[in-house]
Every structure is written in structure tokens, then in C-alpha cells.
Amino acid sequence: MQTVRAALVAATVLVALVLSIRPGAAEDSSRLALTISIDGAIGPATASYVKDALAKAAERRAEVIILRMNTPGGLSSSMREIITDVLASPVPVIGYVAPSGAHAASAGTYILYATHIAAMAPGTNIGAATPVQLGSPIPGLPSGTPEKGDKDKKGSDHPSETDTMTMKVTNDAVAFIRSLAELRGRNADWAEKAVREAATLSAKGALQAKVIDLIAQDQADLLKQVDGRAVEVAGGKVQHLATKDAVIEAIDPGWLAKSLAIITDPNVAFVLLMVGIYGLIFEFMSPGAVAPGVVGTICLLLGLYALNMLPINYAGFALMLVGIALLAFEAFNPTVVIGIGGVIAFVLGAAMLFRIEAPGYRLSWSVIGIVAAMLVGLIVVVLGALRRARKGPVRLGAQAMRGLPAEVLDWSETTGHVFTNGERWQARGTETFKSGEMVEVANIVGLTLVVRRAPAATGEGGTT
């Protein structure tokens, strides 16, 4: 009986020890600060990377997640995806513009406003959040965005359709960033100014204007300053941060996000699309080649997937296809005019393909020029081959048989059989020949060759 009592007492003490240790262990394990780095333009790959990182932070019950940014902006659709994920995150997100010399322009400004705590490193800047998606459809041309007080060409005070659309997009962007500012208790008036007037601020100016919450030298300094702060996360829960001794761990983008970042570059997507189209064209021209068809199919699918992720102009895409069709028609029916029309349609379609002027997502004129030059070069090569084929000797039909040497296999009076071009033919002629004698094909009637005596090698060039 005493042994049982002793065992019960020991078990009770052991359970008490375990229960007393677990909270401390959980507290230590929760002091984890995960970092995400956004360098460069914001696009579909960035949105996918941030979404996965926020999910991982929630699974690991991290104390905070630091969203470090150095970006000129990017796609509005990807920006809104990131902001939606940040607002829904159960883990507090600290927006941090760093290192020194970095900036959070355009889409980066919206994202920083959406974070639970906004911080900047010394020597950084923020702002210039004016929407640019409604720029000119052709890169390099003026967008036609109206200035305040401008009139249309006819002198009317009524805004044009383009001006109205620009105002709609601008007002929507203003309402969006003001809602984020009100949610986080930041300067909404300056946010509107950043959208309407492309205003910018340095780190010190942003702190004074209450655009950000603090300035931090590095991530360690950042975690020290936010320690003990209360933030409201998704669901209305208030969380007091314990980040003083948090372990910093970086979350790197996976191979899928890296691959997506490559193929969603408009220039890469454009090249993949062209390689895919011409790979299939070459496969149809030479059935059984296999390699062009396989490579073309893969590139075409990757290109179409990238185009699906990016905002494209379907009129531009249709013009590109029309240009390629005209160039293909020119290759087989040379007219020059159709070829020139095909080149013009292709270049205009490529220039209009993407409906964006966001930083890092512009289709390069040099890429368009190189691809167009390659198309023209291909057409020139095809036209040259066709011209040589027309001037050369005929390789098919009766004309191809005329003049070929033939060996007499057997002969009786004016008919017999001859061997030419690797085949045994029935033949006839006006003379009598011997087996093994070489003759010349004069004509072909049905499936019978008309042969004649071959001219002597010495007599053909020595007499007139």
C-alpha cells in the first residue's frame, strides 16, 4: 500500500513539473521572427511568395513576421493580393523599408500602410503611389494623363473618356489607401497626396508625418523597439509582442516562386510565346521531327500560363497572331506587301500586348525589335529557298525524269526494260538496243519511258 502511495505521489510531482515546464518552452518556441524580402518589382511570384510565407509563419506560431521591402512598385492585382493576405494574417506583420538606400514606391507604399507596424531604415524613402496601369498601350509613348485644369483638344471643359477612366482609377486608389491608413491609424491625408501628386517622404519625414511608426537601424534594433507593443491582428485579437530575444529566421522563396518570377517577366513570356508558336509551325512543316513540337508545346504552355497571370490586351494578342499568319502566307506566296503588313501587325500587336506600365513589367522595345528582325530574317531565308527551288531543275514528275541516264536490262525490237533512278521501268524507243547499253530518258508516257541513244561523250562538246 505504501508503494502505491509513493508511486502516486511521484506521478503527481512529475505531472506538476511537466506542466510547469511546458508554458516556458512554448513561450521560448514562440519567440521566432520570420523575415520576407521583397526586392524588385512586385508581381504574381511575389504575391505567391508572401502568401506561402505568411501561412508558414502561422503554422510555426511565429511572434512576428518582418516584411522587408525595396521595390519600385509593380502590378496592382499582385499588390492587392499581398495586402489581403497581410490583413488576414494571425501573425503581426512588420513592414520594414530597408536597407539604407531602399525605397517603397508605388505598390510598396500601399503594402507598408497595410502592415501592423510600419518602419523604415535611415536613408530610405516612401511614396509616389500614383496608379500607372492606364498609361499608353504602346511603351514609350505619352500616357495622356490629364493635368488639373487641362481641357481636351476642342477646348471643352468636359473630360474625355480617357480622363474619366484615369480619375476613376485614381479615386479608387485614394479610397483604398485612405482605408488602410484609417485602419492602422496613420496619416491618411499624406497617403492621398502620395496617390494624387506622387508625393514622397524620407524616413525622418515619414516618422514626423506619422506615416510610419518608427525608424530602425537594422532588424535587431527593429525587434527591440517593437517589443511590448500591442497590435490588433485578424479577428480583432490584441497581441502584445515579445520580440526582444526573438530568433530571426529568413524565409526564402521556393523553386516554384523563383520559376514563376522568371516566366512572368513580360519579355520572357513574350519570347516563350514566340518560341512555342514557331516550334509548332516547324513541326507541322516537318512532321516527325519531334524536337520542335515538344519544345514548342512546352514553351507555348508556359507562355500562355504567364500571360494568364499578367494583364494583357487581347487586341494586341490578336494583332500578333494576324501578323504571324501574314508572314507565314508570305513565305509560301511571296508578294512583299503581305510580308510588310505582317511585320507591321506583329510589331503593333507586341507593343500593345501588355496593358501595364508598372515598373519592371514593361515589354522592352529591343526584345520586340530582335524578334521582329528574326521573323523578317526567317521570311527572307524561306523566300530565298523558294526562289532557288523555282530556278533549279524540276525534281518531280515527267520533267524530273527527262535526261536521266538509264541502263538497258532487256530489249526486243522497240520495247524492253531499263533501270534508272533506282527503279526498273518499262521502256520503248525507235532504235534497237543491247542489254547493258546506256541510254537517255527522252520522255515519259504514263508508266512507260521513251528512251533514245545517249549522245557520245566526245561528240557532244567537240562538234557543232
For 390-438, write each residue's pLDDT tens digit.
665 555 556 667 778 888 898 888 889 999 878 888 888 888 888 888 8
DSSP letter, residue 141: S
32, 63 Cβ separation under 8 angstroms? yes
Half-sphere exposure for 403 (CA within 13 Å, toward CB):
6
Integer Cα distance of 110 and 126 in angstroms: 10
What is the C-alpha end-to-end distance of the chain, expressed in Å? 139
Q: Could you tell me the pTM of the whole model? A: 0.65
CATH number of the structural domain 15-147+161-257: 3.90.226.10
The C-alpha cell that represents 293 in the structure block: 513540337
CATH of 397-462, one of 2.40.180.10, 3.40.50.2000, 1.10.10.10, 2.40.50.140: 2.40.50.140
Closest to 183 in 3D by CA, of 241, 237, 227, 232 = 232
Provide the mean pLDDT of the chain.
79
Q: C-alpha grid cell for residue 362?
A: 514593361
Q: Three-class SS of residue 462? A: helix
- Asked if the model's pLDDT at residue 459 lies above 50, the reply is no
Task: Tell me how far apart the alpha carbons of residues 240 and 247 are, in angstroms, rounded to a whole number.
Answer: 17
Domain ranges of the chain: 15-147+161-257, 265-391, 397-462
Determine what percent of the chain is predicted with pLDDT higher than 70: 77
Lowest mean pLDDT among 55-59, 176-180, 297-301: 297-301
Give CA angle at 327 (323, 328), nearest 5°.
115
Give pLDDT tens digits for 60-79.
999 999 999 999 988 888 89
pLDDT band at residue 461, thresholds of 50, 70 and 90? very low
Q: For residue 390, how many other CB atoms are within 10 A of its CB? A: 8
Full DSSP string of 388-411 = HHHHS---SHHHHHTT-EEEEEEE
Higher pLDDT, 127 or 146: 127
Q: Tens digit of pLDDT for each residue in 442-451?
A: 888 878 888 8
Q: Quick: pLDDT tens for 257-291.
A: 778 778 878 888 888 888 887 787 777 766 767 78
Of 415, 457, 458, 445, give the one whose Cα is nearest residue 433.
415
Find where cell 547499253 sits: 437
Judge whether residue 143 has pLDDT over 50. Answer: no
30/92 Cα distance (integer angstroms): 13
Q: Is 147 helix (H, G, I), strand (E, B) or coil?
A: coil
Q: What is the pLDDT of residues 415-426, one digit of tens each?
A: 899 998 788 888
Q: What is the DSSP string of 210-221?
A: TSSSEE-SSHHH
pLDDT, residue 104, reads 93
Helix (H, G, I), strand (E, B) or coil at 239: strand
Q: What is the mean pLDDT of residues 356-370?
A: 72
Which one has a higher pLDDT value, 359 or 26?
359
Contact between residue 428 and residue 447 where contact means Cβ atoms under 8 Å apart: no
Between the alpha carbon of residue 427 and those of residues 106, 121, 396, 415, 434, the distances in Å are 84, 95, 19, 6, 13
Amino acid at 110: Y
Q: Is the dihedral of CA 44, 46, 47, 53 positive or negative?
A: positive
Q: What is the pLDDT of residues 175-233, one digit of tens each?
A: 999 999 999 999 999 999 999 998 999 999 999 999 999 999 999 999 999 998 989 88
